[in-house]
Amino acid sequence: MIALRTASLCKSFRVKRKMPGLSGSIRSLFRPEWEERTAVSDINLTVHAGETVAFLGPNGAGKSTTIKMLTGILHPTSGNAEVLGFTPWRDRTKLAYRIGTVFGQKSQLWYHLPPMDTFDLISRIYELKQSDYKARRKDLIERFELEPYLHTPVRKLSLGERMRCEIAASFLHRPQLLFLDEPTIGLDVLVKQRIRELIRELNRKEGTTVFLTSHDAGDVEELCTRAVVIHHGGILLDAKVEQLKRDILNRKTITLTLKPDSPSAIQARIAGTEIVSNEGRRMKLSVDLSQTDIDLVLSALVGKFRLEDVTVEDPPLEEIIKHIYGMRTGGAGPESGLEASRQAGAGAGGRRL
């Protein structure tokens, strides 16, 4: 069954162009200049029920605009979309009963009130039968471990606690399709992890289709089965996450802080790793996961060096996109081939250990 389908979906905005400075402002007052800016261009996409799709791209790529069209917030400039059988901008109300939305930067919780009050309001908005609502609320409170925060005003919750309440609120009416726009933005590693687990669990147990935009490669790896990468408003890549992991997300960055009496990097070699930078006792390594495993590298590091601190990170999404872009343009340009792949893993520079 198809959860959503788009055909040549486009959205452009009319944006005022202004020269810098006061003179520019005055000129724009009398002779305003407008330009048409394309936010989304020719998006063709089909998502099946039960899929978990990551919709990725750098800032300004058109991720949020696409989600806003798919949820009925924005009208497209041209093209079509069908979400659960409805045209979002025409059948907004009917569709809203069946979808859930979580916008990382826009809260549906009332700021001065405890989450419980918003939950009650949501039960009226979605016209839930009170016995069903109470049972569902109890279940979500247990799963999301919300009991300690339920009666605390939202303004006094941490970002992570608030986000868990936001996601629980969006699940109250059992949506068939959940749109998440940057749900892990600004959260620490542990909270991100917990939120990913919760979404994954609801997808598995209730078959909820998940359509998620993110800036974080971790969201894709741990939560989604399919990734769609957009850039400059158009689709750059549509692939299984497994394939993405094998071909593109095949690097991790390890940052080490060595103890003063530790041997230096030059004295040691670990297969499948490169030194990206080496400043004093601080060293950054890029690990090629197609050649080695991260646990092997970590054990080797522990054996060779005396460590004060260590962190393992995914490459930033911008670098991954540069890499995909490099692959798509046939290796031409500065981000071509192996160079781009290495950059995707660890940024500029580096030498093999």
Partner 1 sequence: MSMEAEESRISGKRVWIMLRFLFTIWKVNLASSLEYRISFLLMAGMMFINNLMWLFFWSLFFHRFPVINGWELNDIMMLWAVSAGGFGWANMLFGNFHRIPSLAATGQLDVYLTQPKPVLLHLLASRMSLTAIGDFAFGLAIYGWAGDHTIQGALLFTLGLVISGCIFMFLMIAAGSLAFFFGNAEGIVQQVFNSFVSLSTYPADIFRGAARVFLFTIVPAGYISYLPIGLLRDQNPGFIAGAAAVTIGMGVFSTIVFHVGLRRYASGNAIVMRG
Residues 11-30 binding partner 1 (CB under 8 A) are 13, 16
Select the span of 116-124, 138-146, 251-259, 262-270 touching partner 1 (CB under 8 A): 116-124
Alpha carbon distances (Å) from 69 to 62, 64, 73, 107, 305:
11, 9, 6, 19, 52
Of the residues 9, 83, 109, 276, which one makes contact with partner 1 according to CB under 8 A: 109
- Binding-site size, partner 1 (CB under 8 A): 37
Pairing of strands 52-56, 226-231: parallel
57 makes contact with partner 1 (CB under 8 A): no
Applying CB under 8 A, among 42, 51, 120, 339 the residue interacting with partner 1 is 120
Residue among 235, 254, 335 nearest 301 (CA): 254
Pick the binder of partner 1 from 75, 129, 240, 352 (CB under 8 A). 75
Query: Could you give the count of Cα atoms lying within 13 Å of 172 in the half-sphere of its Cβ?
Result: 30
For residue 19, how many other CB atoms are within 10 A of its CB?
A: 11
Q: Which stretch binds partner 1 (CB under 8 A): 110-118, 207-215, 302-310, 324-332?
A: 110-118
Shortest Å, Cβ 26 to partner 1: 17
Is residue 83 near partner 1 by the rule CB under 8 A?
Answer: no
Rounded CA-CA distance 99/203 in Å is 13
Q: Using the rule CB under 8 A, which residue among 41, 66, 71, 208 binds partner 1?
A: 71
Under the binding rule (CB under 8 A), the answer on residue 41 touching partner 1 is no
Stretch that binds partner 1, among 1-9, 107-115, 142-150, 236-244 (CB under 8 A): 107-115
* 230 within 8 A of 39, measured Cβ to Cβ: no
The rounded distance, in Å, linking the Cα atoms of 102 and 123 is 17
Contacts of partner 1 in 127-186 (CB under 8 A): 127, 153-155
The minimum distance between CB 271 and partner 1, in angstroms, equals 44
CB atoms within 10 A of CB 104: 20
Q: How far is the CB of 148 from partner 1 (least distance, A)?
A: 20
**Cβ-Cβ contacts under 8 Å for 307 (sequence gap 6 or more):** 256, 257, 258, 259, 262, 301
* CA contacts within 13 A on the Cβ side of 238: 7
If one asks whether residue 117 binds partner 1 (CB under 8 A), the answer comes out as yes
Residue closer to partner 1, measured from CB, 72 or 233: 72
**Site residues (CB under 8 A) for partner 1, limited to 226-255:** none
CA 42/CA 9 separation, integer angstroms:
5
Q: Which residues bind partner 1 (CB under 8 A)?
A: 13, 16, 64, 68, 71-75, 92-94, 96-97, 99, 101, 103, 105-113, 117-118, 120-121, 124-127, 153-155
